[in-house]
Structure 1
Amino acid sequence: MFKNYGPLCAAVYELTKPIGSELNGDITYYLERLEGRHGPILEAGVGTGRMLIPLLEEGFQVDGVDLSADMLEKCSQACHQRHLTANLIQADLATMALGNCYDTIIMPTASFSLLPSEETAYQVLTNFFDHLVPKGRLIIDLDLPFYPEIGEVSTTTYSIDKKTGITLEQKTLAIDWFHQHIVTYLKYEKWTEGSLIATELQDMTMRWYGLSEFKLMLEKVGFESITLSADYDYLAPP
């Protein structure tokens, strides 16, 4: 029934988060944190390449992994247009076995919060740990929870050209305080000259974590020297 991160989602993502666009200064922050790191980098949840391409242009060696073939296709096209080479891999972060170890793994844009369960989050963190070299570094974005009204519906329109556009309808279905997640349904519709030509339904779960809770999760997996920073200001207290 649902198609998560399909072609319409990828098209809207490309429009709303174009290559190199900063989200509250996140690309600048990551470049600062990666300064002096000379080994290979893995971007988990690479999407359409918003952050990967600026890192490549700065001379970093970056691989990208994502579960969505449609996102990776747009990322590949963007790299080709800029004459950049990147190893792009379609894989599930919880089960991937890439055969490489990385100096740094990054997961920006709060993509970690989209993992559907605590069990999956542990699997992904463990897999990250196993894909890092000794003294390797993991950098992850987390989002704090927001509180939409249950049943609240919003619709946004995105123009592709003069004849074609995509509407996105979002409806919040549930907030589960015990399991710490919000469930939202997204309906993408592609229109050409008033005629509906494609529809895509997505079931999105957004999880949140307490900061002490997440630090304990990292320590349980084996991570050490854990720091917290707020709003892309290094070591600024959350």
Structure 2
Amino acid sequence: MHQLEETISALKCFYEHLEKNGRLILDIFLPENTKEGFVSKRGFTNPQGDTIMLEKTLVKIDQINQFAVYHNRYEKWRQGKLMDSELEIFPLKWYGVEEFRLILEKTGFTSMVISSDYKYNQYPTKTSQIITFEATKY
């Protein structure tokens, strides 16, 4: 969801489908690097022993509107041979912690716990942390 309207629409849908006292738990994160051209790489090994490589390139950033576009290249390697490759254009909108809390409240959620790096109720202090929201429908 890379537009505010899409985000609000999706959160309203989640809210409407929850039962009373139902909880929505989701993670958000802030961009770690905001320099266009920044490249990060990481690899994963699947249960079959194949290596999946992900190369993310930040191609556009708009800090005023909190929006970025990444080109993600996935490669699947088996025994040293490239088996498959895919390019994904990945638009991303990010939200500040309090901004997202207000969006959740606007959607109808009333009780919220904000945690960081999966430490319950520990408010984030660094932009590199994973931020978890637990919002309850009453």
Return the TM-score normalized by structure 1. Answer: 0.44
Flag structure 2 segments of 5+ consecutive residues without an equivalent: 125-138
What is the match of residue 18 of structure 2? Answer: 132
Offset from partner CA, 1:87-115 (integer Å, 9 cap, x none): xxxxxxxxxxxxxxxxxxxxxxxxxxxx2
Which residue in 1 is equivalent to 2:55?
169
> Deviation of residue 214 (structure 1)?
1.2
Q: Indicate the SS of the match to 1:226.
A: strand
Distance 1:188 1:140 in 2: 25
CA, structure 1 residues 193+215, in 2 after alignment: closer, same or farther (shift >3 Å)?
Answer: closer
**How far off its partner does 1:120 sit?**
1.4
Structure 1 unaligned spans of 5+: 1-114
- Give the equivalent residue in structure 2 for 1:100: none
Q: CA deviation at 1:138?
A: 1.7
- The CA deviation at 1:215 is 1.7
Identity %: 38
Aligned to 1:34: none
The 5 Å alignment of 1:141-160 reads: 141-156=27-42, 158=44
Q: Which has the higher contact order (CA 8 A, sep 6+)?
A: 2
In the TM superposition, 1:1-238 aligns within 5 A as 115-156=1-42, 158=44, 165-192=51-78, 195-238=81-124
**CA distance in structure 1 between the aligned counterparts of 2:111 and 2:41, rounded to whole angstroms:** 43
Q: After TM superposition, give the deviation of residue 233 of structure 1 in Å.
A: 2.6
1:216 CA displacement: 1.6
Q: Cα deviation per residue 1:1-58 (whole Å; 9 max; x = unaligned)?
A: xxxxxxxxxxxxxxxxxxxxxxxxxxxxxxxxxxxxxxxxxxxxxxxxxxxxxxxxxx
Number of equivalenced pairs: 123
CA 1:130–1:198 in structure 2 vs 1: closer, same or farther (change >3 Å)? same
- TM value normalised by structure 2: 0.71
Spell out, residue by residue over 1:177-206, the C-alpha distance to the aligned partner (whole angstroms, 9 max, x if none): 122122211112334566543221111233
Letter in 2 for 1:209: Y
1:207-228 C-alpha deviation (Å, 9 max, x unpaired):
3212221122112111112232
